[in-house]
Structure 1
Amino acid sequence: MALSKVTWFFMVFGLVYFLESIGGFYMTSAVVFIEKQFQIPSRLSGTMVSAGDFAYIPVVIFTSYFGGKGNRARWIGAGCILISIANFMVASSNFLFPVEKTNVTAHIPATLIHQINRDLILKTPFNSSDHLWLETLQKRIDPMNRVKMTYEGDSAADLLQKFVEYCYYNNGTDICNDLEKGISEKFPVTEAQISNVRAMVALPYGFCNSMLNYVRADHYACKGDHSNLGPFMMIFGGLLVLGVGRTMPFSLGLPLIDDNCKKQNLPLYFSFMFFVKILGPVIGLLVGGQLNKLYYDFNPPQGLTPLDPMWIGCWWLGFLIFGALLFGPSVVLYCFPSDDLDANAPEKLDEKGKPMKRLNLVDRHVKKDAQGNAIMPGTAKEKFKDFTSTISTLIKNKIFVGAMLGRIVDVLAFKGYFVFMGKYLELQFGVPQFKIQRYIASTGIVGFAIGVMLGSFSMRKLKLQGRKAAGWVAICSLVAALISFANGTVGCESVIGQIGNKVKEFGTDFDTCRDDCLCKETPFYPVCDVYGDVYYSPCHAGCLIGWNNYSIFNAEQGKMNIPVFQNCDCVEGRLKEVSRTYCKTDECESQFNRFFMHQALGAIFGGLAVVPGMLIVLRAVPPEHRSVSLGFNGFLVSLLATLPSPIIWGKIIDLSCLVWQKTCDGHGSCSIYDTDELRVRLHLIYGGLRIFSLLSDIWVFIWAKGLKLIEEPDEPPAEEEAEEVPKRKETLQNAAERVERTAHELEQLIDSRGS
């Protein structure tokens, strides 16, 4: 059986709406890695995420006003094409602004090279001149002759190694300069040995070695114009374009569905639409979780795994994938033909000979001419007057204003909290991002989807109208807010939290048992000993470089090689080893699961209020103002909520920062947080805002008496109304004539009886 044009349209529209919703939430899984790759603090990344709202705010009202009077499919298709282009722009920042690769060009001491390549010294034979040179050094280093020197080959090599270790602690003295010169002559440095040192400098962790850390600090010193402004502006610009594009699908899509389905089926259609809108983020987060297992350049540094805080997932690949998938269907929707653009076209019949349902892409509540085109005010002054008159009508609507204010406060609380949820969970529970994204998708968003479906079913089953629906929304919002307070009690001492506690106790100068390690500039790479004690890095644990034939990569967990560092002087006990695998995580894993149990329950109650709340907004205004009401609602929500929310929440998170990473132009991203303070502050503010929004729900409840949401009689299409007007006029005229004749006959009858 051939599908009707209406069916084909809803299939294409549903696909576009689904793909648009995937990319819309994918940014939340990428923002934490964008911060790390380009060293952007949370307050700036929050501003970056809000870029879409900078564009959305001035565009959405005009889009909904003019788009509602035109071919809405074309407007929605054009918007989604812009969203596709925006995804490509965001992904391009990875290629236009690559992170500087390690290329050590500074002078590398020969003693450092031979510390790392120790076997070369031990296997090299020594002749008499070498022995004489060693004896001279011995007298200069040890005038009291406390270390007896032998002239056996192996013993001479061992003694030379001791001299190298001596210069490890006394670098820059005349003795060590002579030693450097002699070693360079005896053991010429090869390119392979220099490459080995470069690889050590590029490792994501640091050893207890002053010369190696000196070379690392010298390499990473600011020698040029390195700034995060370029990638920040590119991503900001892409999200601006995305903000323009996303003004169309929602504000024009809901009225479009309303024009092409029966009123009693609206809750079902809306629930399906919201289900698609929710399924998209689920898919996006699941795909993001898989992509986050990949390193952003597909070549992770040796020993770095997704478990480590410095891991950068392949965030940009998702934007490329979603942008490519969205582009094709958006073009099809842009070119989709409309039945109501040709009012004079002959009526089409289905296989049973019955008239086929017409596809109304132009709002059927607006005035149209004989060709079916919307009648727009002529001059710019008339258009502005009509526009301001519509907005004035909306502002005077008490139910609409109350529902809008409640949504503003809810979005202000939720948007920024959700954007940084992945980062918060990684800090609080020490869980890798790919696992966090799976949990958010499978509990929070799926729970929200279940709530939306149950809310739609409850409306039809309980026949929620007016105050009943408003009371339903208020109760569900209250329960969701109380559950959010409960999550403020769910926390644990993760690895980052334990290091944060040490910072609060001892300050930012991390304590290590050896002052000669020069650990201050080493990367953040938390490790633990077998007893569970946490260290900022292997350097802070006093782990020496190059011993035991470099056998530090001897532990495996699944497919990830997790290094075990040996000979760590700062570890108390017999087994002087540290590794990430030794960190105790049982308590954090159980608390992590408890957090998401609360999250799923809160999401269900939040979803229960979605369909009733949206129908209250839609039914509280006249039909011809629906598109503008949604656009105006979106304008104010963006201006007062979605725009400032990520910026505010980014600043809230930064307030709990204890240690900032340094960049050439100031602070980079934060590496250590006070996780307890962050947990309490985050959930008190979030829950408090949700409670505050209940005031608007009470306002709507007061004024919602008699408001009809469902079971309204179907309104006839505009074309049928136009055809019925002459018939109605003719019927009324005939009735008037009959009444007039009857009255005249009755008057004659009365006169005859009276005579």
Structure 2
Amino acid sequence: MASSVKKKTKCCDVLKMFMVALTFSFTCKALSGVIMKSSITQIERRFGITTSEAGFIDGSFEIGNLLVITLVSHFGAKSHIPRLIGIGCFIMGIGSFLTALPHFFMGPYRYDSIINANPLDNSTVTYTPCSTDVNSAGNNRSSLLLESGCKSESHSFMWIYVFVGNLLRGIGESPIGPLGLTYIDNFAKEGHSTFYMGILHSISMIGPTIGYLLGSLCAKLYVDFGSVDLSSITINPNDSRWVGAWWLGFLVAGSLNIASGIPFFYFPKNLKKARKQSTGPTPLDAPSTKENGGQKLNFKDSEQTKRNGLAGFFYSLKCIITNKVYILFLISTLMTVSSFIGSITYIPKYLELEYGMSMAKSNFLLGTTTMPFVAISLLLGGYISKKLKLSVMGIAKLFFITNIGSSTFLAFLWFLNCGKQPIAGLTVTYTGNDPGTTENIPFSFCNSDCNCDANVWDPVCGDDGLTYMSPCLAGCKYSVGHGKDLVFRNCSCVEANNFQSGNSSAYLGKCPKTDDCSRNFIYYMILSSLSSFIIGLGGTSAIVLIFKFVEPERKSLAMGFNSVVIRTLGGILAPIYYGAAIDVTCLKWDTDNCGDQGACRMYDPASFRNRFFGLTGGLRASGIICYIFLFIAMKKKYQENKTGLSNNGGIDMDQSNLKEPLKNNLVSSPHADGETHI
């Protein structure tokens, strides 16, 4: 008797230690995922690629995960689970290091600026932006290219290292989620697995929070800090040409991922007190009978458990994809997850364009507002499920209501904006009038005598309140100061619009946003946080629904197949088609020294906003419509009575699950697992 108690205590202790190790692993993988999301725009600018190409790089994580996750979920459950998780953590760490590798092979980052073509020393040498000399350096870049030859410095194939590194992270992440949760569910006491999962995913939300804060810090640091004279840099983090130290975050994430994998090599393959398979959750499509006051599981395909190898794998897969309720839930979830993935990838870019927030500040706010709200809602959602003793239909109702509420707040965000940004020759005329459409006419009477390069994007803010694409196009005759303190004087275009004050100076960077825009940004953050909070309340139920739709022995495979679909159609494709939609709204493209198109420097705010929220809203609406059909199908097939059993064989939640909080993970929820659960 004493020996039995001792073994039981030792088993519980090992499981608790496994929980600690898995929580740390989940935190680290979430952190590395957020680092990629928060750095994707920096990567886009550093390598001179389009937004859709950057989205393809971001989706490589899902490609890597897709390659192995189904097989890992099926065969890994029969192998040494802790050891596979440890190997996965090591692969994730190596992938993060490989992602950062290009920084150490590439030369210093050179942003597009006419100042770079004619650099100043530390003295106050006068520079003449507006010059009638056709060979003036900086104003006619093409003449310099003929002499020095074409050399593309930013448009480099080094981005392939980032792609492969992110792909390796996806491969390494594949065993951590499905197998880790399976291990807990296999060896936890009956009814305790949901409680452990709730703790696991609630605590691991620290990862995204830390990830966004780390991403904010890296975005503040110049990409080549430590190797260049920062006093000579004429741009700041609010500039669309700014590239932060994107590589630094991957080095930190890689080290943490490797460290998180070490403990798993010391856990056993099996624990003595494993739960019997018959105590697992009952699928919705399994007939039930009432016997001795309990529920007895009867499966039509009980012989399936005897099948092994590939035959068993394909048979189980067939059972899953022919489960109509499961497929309906998968489709509806896919729509919601796709909207979340696409929007979270480009939210920093949107906040920078619409509200003038730097990438560093956007990441900081996401880490300190949105992520804590999500973490709190996960815990609260589990508590609500426990307190109200929600049945499967009750959980489905909660999930549906929270999706409706979150989408409603999203609609309000669509109408919050700061209007069109006045950029002379691009969004407004040189007199400041709105032409009705984007005119993209860089030259006017005030700069017609200047030999300007219309392709240069080096914005300055004039005393007249207009932003000009370059000091040359503003008609500035000379400059004073150095670095970020550089000021341009005697600007003819500014003088033409400033009759009263007579000031005709221009300063580096775009003109700041108005006070009304700052207030709208506060409203945006409040509504955005509420939207995240509401959807998190229902997101806790997603994993329970998956477990209820399939047989116990297929839980791991169902989660794996769910992840495959979500990652293929959501994780891979969503950033690409979101990026393609955003690229269409570009007003000003960067050009490298070979004249090739690089990253976008300026988007049309109204068009960007409509496409961004139009896609998100359309996907959300499609998901809600699909979920209505799912809810009708569930209600029709599995109507509940007072005993929790349906007249046609459907079931309520098993009693073991009612005893514990339903604080579950984000897998297959609007915040899907792995890379998409931030």
Please tell me the TM-score bracket, short chain as reference: 0.7 to 0.9
User: 2:461 aligns to what?
Assistant: 528
Give the 3-state SS of the residue equivalent to 2:461 in structure 1: strand
Matched, 1:15 2:24: yes
Matched, 1:648 2:577: yes
- Structural mapping, 1:294-305, within 5 Å: 294-298=221-225, 299=228, 300=230, 301-305=232-236
Distance in 2 (CA, whole Å) between partners of 1:462 and 1:528 is 58
Matched, 1:406 2:339: no
User: 1:392 aligns to what?
Assistant: 318
User: 1:719 aligns to what?
Assistant: none
- Structure 1 pair 450–116 and aligned structure 2 pair: CA distance change class (3 A): closer
Cα deviation 1:446-468 (Å, max 9, x = unaligned): 22222211110110011111211
User: 1:668 aligns to what?
Assistant: 598
Matched, 1:269 2:213: no
Residue 635 of structure 1 is aligned with which of 555, 558, 564? 564
- Does the CA contact (< 8 Å) of 2:476 and 2:488 recur in 1? yes
Give structure 2 stretches of 5+ with no counterpart. 1-8, 281-303, 430-436, 639-649, 660-678
> Which letter maps to 2:84?
W
Residue 279 of structure 1 is aligned with which of 188, 206, 214? 206
User: 1:438 aligns to what?
Assistant: 364
User: 1:256 aligns to what?
Assistant: 183
> Which letter maps to 1:519?
C
Matched, 1:609 2:538: yes
Matched, 1:571 2:497: no
Cα deviation 1:81-133 (Å, max 9, x = unaligned): 1111000010001112335669x9xxx99xx99x98579xxxxxxxxxxxxxx
- Structural mapping, 1:680-699, within 5 Å: 680-699=610-629
- Does the CA contact (< 8 Å) of 1:68 and 1:362 recur in 2? no
Which protein is bigger by CA-based radius of gyration? 1
Matched, 1:711 2:655: yes
> Which letter maps to 2:249?
G
Residue 79 of structure 1 is aligned with which of 79, 88, 103? 88
Residue 215 of structure 2 is aligned with which of 285, 288, 294? 288
Distance in 2 (CA, whole Å) between partners of 1:47 and 1:635 is 17
> Which letter maps to 2:163?
F
Matched, 1:169 2:113: no
Cα deviation 1:401-455 (Å, max 9, x = unaligned): 2221122111222212211111111111111111111111222222222221111
Q: What's the offset of the Cα at 1:597?
A: 1.2
- Structure 1 pair 83–456 and aligned structure 2 pair: CA distance change class (3 A): same
> Which letter maps to 1:696?
C
Q: What's the offset of the Cα at 1:588?
A: 2.0
Give the 3-state SS of the residue equivalent to 1:271 in structure 2: helix
User: 2:432 aligns to what?
Assistant: none
Residue 391 of structure 2 is aligned with which of 453, 465, 478? 465
User: 1:517 aligns to what?
Assistant: 450
Distance in 1 (CA, whole Å) between partners of 2:424 and 2:614 is 23
- Structural mapping, 1:437-456, within 5 Å: 437-456=363-382
- Structure 1 pair 364–539 and aligned structure 2 pair: CA distance change class (3 A): farther
Give the 3-state SS of the residue equivalent to 2:478 in structure 1: coil
Q: What's the offset of the Cα at 1:44?
A: 0.6
Cα deviation 1:601-623 (Å, max 9, x = unaligned): 11011101111121111222111
- Does the CA contact (< 8 Å) of 2:110 and 2:154 recur in 1? no
- Structural mapping, 1:79-478, within 5 Å: 79-99=88-108, 169=132, 210-214=136-140, 218=144, 223-224=150-151, 228-298=155-225, 299=228, 300=230, 301-340=232-271, 358=273, 383-478=309-404
Cα deviation 1:192-241 (Å, max 9, x = unaligned): xxxxxxxxxxxxxxxxxx44423686259762465735222111111111
- Structure 1 pair 607–441 and aligned structure 2 pair: CA distance change class (3 A): same
- Structure 1 pair 378–690 and aligned structure 2 pair: CA distance change class (3 A): closer
Distance in 2 (CA, whole Å) between partners of 1:268 and 1:497 is 55
Give the 3-state SS of the residue equivalent to 1:672 in structure 2: strand
Q: What's the offset of the Cα at 1:8?
A: 2.0
- Does the CA contact (< 8 Å) of 2:62 and 2:571 recur in 1? yes
- Structure 1 pair 384–606 and aligned structure 2 pair: CA distance change class (3 A): same
Residue 50 of structure 2 is aligned with which of 24, 41, 59? 41
Q: What's the offset of the Cα at 1:581?
A: 8.3
Distance in 1 (CA, whole Å) between partners of 2:569 and 2:37 is 20
Q: What's the offset of the Cα at 1:336?
A: 2.6
Distance in 1 (CA, whole Å) between partners of 2:321 and 2:467 is 58
- Does the CA contact (< 8 Å) of 2:377 and 2:534 recur in 1? yes
Distance in 1 (CA, whole Å) between partners of 2:79 and 2:341 is 31
> Which letter maps to 1:289?
S
Q: What's the offset of the Cα at 1:584?
A: 4.1
Matched, 1:32 2:32: no
Distance in 1 (CA, whole Å) between partners of 2:158 and 2:377 is 39
- Does the CA contact (< 8 Å) of 2:131 and 2:450 recur in 1? no
- Structure 1 pair 382–455 and aligned structure 2 pair: CA distance change class (3 A): closer
Q: What's the offset of the Cα at 1:516?
A: 3.6
Distance in 2 (CA, whole Å) between partners of 1:331 and 1:270 is 22
Give the 3-state SS of the residue equivalent to 1:515 in structure 2: coil
CA-based RMSD: 3.5
Distance in 2 (CA, whole Å) between partners of 1:87 and 1:673 is 31
- Structure 1 pair 242–653 and aligned structure 2 pair: CA distance change class (3 A): same
- Does the CA contact (< 8 Å) of 1:25 and 1:281 recur in 2? yes
Cα deviation 1:572-603 (Å, max 9, x = unaligned): 23222222486343222211221111111110
Distance in 2 (CA, whole Å) between partners of 1:576 and 1:552 is 19
- Structure 1 pair 63–508 and aligned structure 2 pair: CA distance change class (3 A): farther
Distance in 2 (CA, whole Å) between partners of 1:388 and 1:514 is 70
> Which letter maps to 1:643?
I
- Does the CA contact (< 8 Å) of 1:427 and 1:494 recur in 2? no
- Does the CA contact (< 8 Å) of 2:88 and 2:171 recur in 1? yes
Q: What's the offset of the Cα at 1:362?
A: 12
- Does the CA contact (< 8 Å) of 1:72 and 1:252 recur in 2? yes
Give the 3-state SS of the residue equivalent to 2:55 in structure 1: helix
Distance in 2 (CA, whole Å) between partners of 1:455 and 1:428 is 33
User: Which moves more between the two structures, 520-529 or 611-620?
Assistant: 520-529
Q: What's the offset of the Cα at 1:680?
A: 1.4
Q: TM-score, normalised by structure 1?
A: 0.72
Cα deviation 1:330-375 (Å, max 9, x = unaligned): 12213433453xx6xxxxxxxxxxxxxx47899998xxxxxxxxxx
Give the 3-state SS of the residue equivalent to 1:565 in structure 2: strand
User: Which moves more between the two structures, 234-243 or 268-277?
Assistant: 268-277
Say which structure is richer in helix: 1
Q: What's the offset of the Cα at 1:508?
A: 4.4
- Does the CA contact (< 8 Å) of 2:124 and 2:481 recur in 1? no
> Which letter maps to 1:36?
R
> Which letter maps to 1:284?
G
- Structure 1 pair 260–616 and aligned structure 2 pair: CA distance change class (3 A): same
Give the 3-state SS of the residue equivalent to 1:643 in structure 2: helix
Distance in 2 (CA, whole Å) between partners of 1:611 and 1:528 is 48
Give the 3-state SS of the residue equivalent to 1:445 in structure 2: helix
Matched, 1:620 2:549: yes
Cα deviation 1:538-581 (Å, max 9, x = unaligned): 222222334xxx3366xxxxxxx554333323212322222248
User: Which moves more between the two structures, 259-268 or 25-34?
Assistant: 259-268
Aligned length: 589
User: 1:700 aligns to what?
Assistant: 630
Give the 3-state SS of the residue equivalent to 2:598 in structure 1: strand
